[in-house]
Structure 1
Amino acid sequence: MENNAVKSSMKHDESNKPKEQYVHSVFENIAGKYDIMNDILSFRQHKRWRKFTMKKMNMQLGDTAIDLCCGTCDWTISMANTSGESGHIIGLDFSEGMLNVGRQKVKKGGLNKQITLVQGNAMSLPFEDNRFDYATIGFGLRNVPDYVKVLEEMKRVVKPGGMVVCLELSKPTWQPFKGLYFFYFQKLLPLMAKLFAKRYEQYKWLPESLALFPGRKELSEVFRKIGLNHVEAFPLTSGIAALHIGIKENMDV
């Protein structure tokens, strides 16, 4: 079921590029404006969502994590600050432009020893099984060609008892807020992007990327189907976003 939706979106826009190539070009193009546009278009809610997520993760000093689709590294940096000098965080993204912005922020924060940034494919992680305490992905799962494969890779690289965490845009379910939200997301958001960032086509991708992505309950079922336990889903800001958490089975239990 879920893979059919992904496959149906593999071809995108008039250039008929595969989804992966198209999304890569989008993020390369908007990298320099990404942070400020996040603040404007989410009304800074993304910062509150990430703070809530960090609280639910309950990360400890010395913990390790891989942050997929890390972009400009806001979440990567939050985890590094929490895990401290004895921890280590790897940020992975396929966009070198986004990583370049992230590198500047990591250097400015004096976190080069705690954070390693890698250009790579979230569907084929270059890391061994059972390595990390956490595998996270923030606002990137809906952009990959096969989100089930990404979640399976996240599960593979976390240790038994480790946590798979997804913070992503979602779909409000109650009216009239649902109608107002989709009007904003589909009509006003690209126009605001054109006004503030001189980007229109790139930000049209956001509502399109959400259209075929599963809702909160459906994504919870995907977590369970790939074998994650104790799955929890939290709607954020009336369902605009959602946090999903699953635990890899601890073989010692």
Structure 2
Amino acid sequence: MTDENTTHFGYKNVRTDEKQGRVSQVFDSVASRYDLMNDLMSMGIHRLWKRFAVELAGIKRGQKVLDLASGTGDLAARFAGLVGPDGLVVMTDINAAMLDEGRKRMADEGLVGNVEYTQVNAENIPFPDNSFDCITIAFGLRNVTDKQKALSEMHRVLKPGGRVLVLEFSHPNGEPLKQIYDIYSFKLLPMMGRLVANDEDSYRYLAESIRMHPDQETLKGMMEQAGLERCDYHNMTGGIVAAHRGFKL
């Protein structure tokens, strides 16, 4: 149980003002192996999840996109190609090590000119109201301390007619899949973290943070509470991942 002064860090209750630092330690630890572990953990399926999310985002040439919790830039790289030279992608992460990895990757791929980099806490987005045509956050919302505040901030900086897209691990459909997923998450995932990234604890936190994240309907309700309209979600891989979408009308 949590109160206004505490929050979840995986299955642990911690002081609200401690969570950001703890999450930063996790991503400082895994940054250099982040892409490799994503491929191993999902058996490459994360690329299909992200491709579908990009389609839902509906990005057009010349638009301005804010990608929160960009990590190493999987979505931002796709958006940079879609908005073209007249558009802009603002690639952000709260964690400096992750943002640096993303910047290196974008430079290696020659994606310069229409991409900017900013260290951003999603709870306090440092941009004016009505600034972006699309705002995305992929596999990052569950690590945010105050998710409702972050969603309200996304709504604030979104232009009328724009959309917010949240791609996140969610809750599997059906008991057999849940049981298999639990075995994978709490047995195999930490073991892979230990063998590949030399960091079992961070990947145990990953599994726990997924379980503590709001389910599909709850997150949809939170987006509506933030002021977004026509909210919907699309389950992928049996609900293991869901793409939520909402509009500012």
Same fold (TM over 0.5): yes
Instruction: Give, as a single letter, the amino acid of the residue that structure 1 aligns with 2:165.
Output: V
From the superposition, tell whether residues 230 and 76 of structure 1 become closer, same or farther in structure 2 (CA, over 3 Å).
Answer: same
Pairwise CA distance, 1:11: 9.2
From the superposition, tell whether residues 182 and 108 of structure 1 become closer, same or farther in structure 2 (CA, over 3 Å).
Answer: same
CA distance in 1, matches of 2:38, 2:74: 11
CA distance in 2, matches of 1:10, 1:149: 17
Counterpart secondary structure, 1:214: coil
CA distance in 2, matches of 1:176, 1:12: 23
Pairwise CA distance, 1:14: 10
CA deviations on 1:161-197 (whole Å, 9 max, x unpaired) are: 1101100001103021111011111221011111122
CA distance in 1, matches of 2:37, 2:4: 28
Q: Which residue of 2 aligns with 1:26?
A: 26
Instruction: Give, as a single letter, the amino acid of the residue that structure 2 aligns with 1:50.
Output: K
- The answer to whether the 8 A contact 2:92-2:118 is kept is yes
Instruction: Give, as a single letter, the amino acid of the residue that structure 2 aligns with 1:8.
Output: T
Counterpart secondary structure, 2:175: coil
CA distance in 1, matches of 2:204, 2:142: 14
From the superposition, tell whether residues 8 and 82 of structure 1 become closer, same or farther in structure 2 (CA, over 3 Å).
Answer: same
Instruction: Give, as a single letter, the amino acid of the residue that structure 1 aligns with 2:19.
Output: K
- The answer to whether the 8 A contact 2:11-2:209 is kept is no
1:60 aligns with 2:67: no
CA distance in 2, matches of 1:45, 1:67: 21
CA distance in 1, matches of 2:201, 2:162: 39
C-alpha RMSD over aligned residues: 2.2
Counterpart secondary structure, 1:9: strand
CA distance in 2, matches of 1:148, 1:94: 17
Pairwise CA distance, 1:8: 3.3
1:75 aligns with 2:82: no
Q: Which residue of 2 aligns with 1:219?
A: 219
Counterpart secondary structure, 1:18: helix
Instruction: Give, as a single letter, the amino acid of the residue that structure 2 aligns with 1:238.
Output: G
Q: TM-score, normalised by structure 1?
A: 0.92
**Identity across the alignment (%):** 36
From the superposition, tell whether residues 195 and 5 of structure 1 become closer, same or farther in structure 2 (CA, over 3 Å).
Answer: farther
Pairwise CA distance, 1:211: 2.3
The aligned length equals 248
From the superposition, tell whether residues 147 and 14 of structure 1 become closer, same or farther in structure 2 (CA, over 3 Å).
Answer: closer
CA deviations on 1:217-240 (whole Å, 9 max, x unpaired) are: 111111111221111100011111
User: Unpaired runs of 5+ in structure 2?
Assistant: none
- The answer to whether the 8 A contact 2:9-2:209 is kept is no
- The answer to whether the 8 A contact 2:68-2:120 is kept is no
From the superposition, tell whether residues 4 and 91 of structure 1 become closer, same or farther in structure 2 (CA, over 3 Å).
Answer: farther
CA deviations on 1:203-226 (whole Å, 9 max, x unpaired) are: 111111122211011111111112
Q: Which residue of 1 aligns with 2:7?
A: 8
Deviates more, 1:53-62 or 1:151-160: 53-62
User: Unpaired runs of 5+ in structure 1?
Assistant: none
Equivalent residues in 2 for 1:185-200, closer than 5 Å: 185-200=185-200
